[in-house]
Amino acid sequence: MNIAYERYKELLCRLADVQYSIAILNWDLETYMPPKGAESRAQQISTLSGIAHNLSTSEELGDLLFKLESDTSLDEIQQKNIYHSLKSYRLNKKYSQAFVEELSRAISEAFQAWQKAKETNNFSLYAPKLEKLVRLKREECTIIGFTGHPYDALLDQYEPGALTADLSILFADVRSQLVAFVKQIAAQPQNEDGFMFLHYDKQKQWDFGLELLTQMGYDFEAGRQDISSHPFTTNFGPKDVRVTTRIAEDNLNEMIWSCIHEGGHALYEQGLPYSEYGLPSGEYISLGIHESQSRLWENNVGRNLPYWKHNLARLKEFFPEPLKNVQPEAFFKAINKVRPSLIRTNADELTYHFHILIRFEIEKALIEGSIEVKDLPALWNSKYKEYLGLDVPSDSQGVLQDIHWSHGSFGYFPTYSLGSFYAAQFYNKAVQEIPTLELEIEKGNMKPLLNWLREHIHRHGKRYTAEELCQHICGEKLNFKYFMNYAQKKYGELYKLEKIVKKA
């Protein structure tokens, strides 16, 4: 037995215990906490965060990691664990106490200002706070260090190894290929989706959502679903993975897509190896890979015809009246309506990526200093005109719509698009390897797909980087052509774009 490695595991378990406790407090805050609990809750979370920070930067942990770094008796997975832990240890050590406190103050001020600014449609309330935050974020890039673009330093926190240069090439493809494709769709007659917005009883929606989760393979003995205003997934280890959903009685889309999306995230967490609790080998790879799991279920599976050939019949048992004359093909059309819109979170699965493209271009320019915060509203509006053909009527529906920047989350948005692109590539491979996959989905049998995801992705934890994982599964790295092929095939049929399908 390697005593140093065993001690390292103990220290990491202890850190995980504290971090998952913070996660429980946050879960409660978003679901059940009464409003007056907010103040003491903030204090409890801050105390535990301080303890987590001390554990993650302790001298004992550092000494062990430096010792284990050159221990050749460790196996491949153990070596990877030490590599990842050392990387986060070094990173945590780079931040001074003063900087952490200043950043945390700037974030809470920016967040409050953003809420007011959005409510009152007044960007100028937010601008000075955001300016300060952007200045600190630029400083953070220098603290972390980078070799190419400063934005690399921020990207790496969400998508380890992702480079601004590579993403610029990827998003240039999005711009050149997807913009033209969406224009062709826009020229076609629009599909009917009015029946999605009739009255759908809340409790019945809830019951149907639980059935969808069960069908996917979500383990209710190792999780639960609750209601929150913004759906999310959180976990306290692989045996307690919770999802939330929201339900609108006049819009069936809300519940269906949040259930399947969060269910996809949750299956990834439930599939991580429990024996590796607290270790990198028991954690997800990156936000892009995490998002690939939610989007694969949501879009490649859920927004596809085989899924509804099975599930529509059951949905109609819950809602016979509003869905009386709706056939699976009509339902399939209704849930795949492509139409440029102002709000990212309501976007369809194609125009969604323009929203991310715009944020990527803006973030990159902000962090490198080629634009300033005061330029944001005008720049935002001109990009929405250029890529989506839309006039932005107010900053609340424009540059102020997302919470991310007020949280200091720069470098996060690109992982949403990466998720969809990885999902298309993985799903393509799964169908290739399991030719009966969609026939099984049509029977309501999701097991072959879940087993495939478990085998190729979930069980590995952080053993591979995102790029290595993709290489390992698909024999090549991330390639945008799989998403475009998927889009052209599906929407070519849905909108009868025969010429495009033949060319592709």
156 or 298, CB closer to Co ion? 298
Find the catalytic residue in 262, 276, 349, 442.
Answer: 262
Query: Nearest Cα to 422, choosing from 301, 306, 336, 294?
Result: 294
8 A C-beta contact, residue 283 and residue 88: no
Q: What are 345's two structure tokens?
A: 């979170």
Site mask for Co ion (CB under 5 A), range 283-312, x = bound: -----------x------------------
287-295 and 252-270 helices, crossing angle to 10°: 130
C-beta of 137: minimal distance to Co ion in Å? 23
The residue to which tokens 């859920």 are assigned: 302
Q: What are 332's two structure tokens?
A: 């399939």
Name the residue with the smallest CB distance to Co ion. Answer: 294
C-beta of 291: minimal distance to Co ion in Å? 5
Please name the helix (run of DSSP H) or strand (run of DSSP E) that holds residue 16, with its range, or none: helix 3-31
294 or 417, CB closer to Co ion? 294
C-beta of 346: minimal distance to Co ion in Å? 15
Query: Nearest Cα to 364, choosing from 193, 215, 169, 197?
Result: 169
Using rule CB under 5 A, residue 336 touches Co ion:
no
Number of H helices, E strands in the chain: 22, 3
In the sheet where 241-245 sits, what is the strand order? Answer: 225-227, 241-245, 233-235
Instruction: Determine the Cα–Cα distance for residues 240 and 274; give it in Å rounded to an integer.
Output: 11
89 or 158, CB closer to Co ion? 158
271 or 492, CB closer to Co ion? 271
C-beta of 302: minimal distance to Co ion in Å? 13
C-beta of 294: minimal distance to Co ion in Å? 4
Site for Co ion in 147-206 (CB under 5 A): none
Question: With contacts defined by CB under 5 A, how many residues of the chain interact with Co ion?
Answer: 1
C-beta of 419: minimal distance to Co ion in Å? 7
- DSSP annotation of 190: P
C-beta of 356: minimal distance to Co ion in Å? 13
Active site residue 59: no
CB atoms within 10 A of CB 113: 20
C-beta of 244: minimal distance to Co ion in Å? 12
Instruction: Determine the Cα–Cα distance for residues 402 and 384; give it in Å rounded to an integer.
Output: 15
Q: What are 161's two structure tokens?
A: 């190894």
85 or 294, CB closer to Co ion? 294
294 or 351, CB closer to Co ion? 294
208 or 268, CB closer to Co ion? 268
The residue to which tokens 């369809």 are assigned: 348
Amino acid 476 reads E
Q: What are 372's two structure tokens?
A: 């300033």
In a 13 Å sphere around the CA of 427, the CA atoms on its Cβ side amount to 25
Amino acid 422 reads Y
8 A C-beta contact, residue 80 and residue 48: no
Amino acid 287 reads L
- DSSP annotation of 276: G
153 or 287, CB closer to Co ion? 287
8 A C-beta contact, residue 381 and residue 398: yes
294 or 300, CB closer to Co ion? 294
Instruction: Determine the Cα–Cα distance for residues 393 and 381; give it in Å rounded to an integer.
Output: 9
C-beta of 95: minimal distance to Co ion in Å? 27
Q: Which residues pair with 120 in a beta bridge?
A: none
8 A C-beta contact, residue 470 and residue 482: no
Query: Nearest Cα to 138, choosing from 476, 436, 365, 324?
Result: 365
Instruction: Determine the Cα–Cα distance for residues 214 and 246; give it in Å rounded to an integer.
Output: 18
113 or 296, CB closer to Co ion? 296
C-beta of 482: minimal distance to Co ion in Å? 19
Please name the helix (run of DSSP H) or strand (run of DSSP E) that holds residue 110, with its range, or none: helix 97-120
8 A C-beta contact, residue 414 and residue 396: no
- Name the residues annotated as catalytic: 262
The residue ranges that bind Co ion (CB under 5 A) are 294
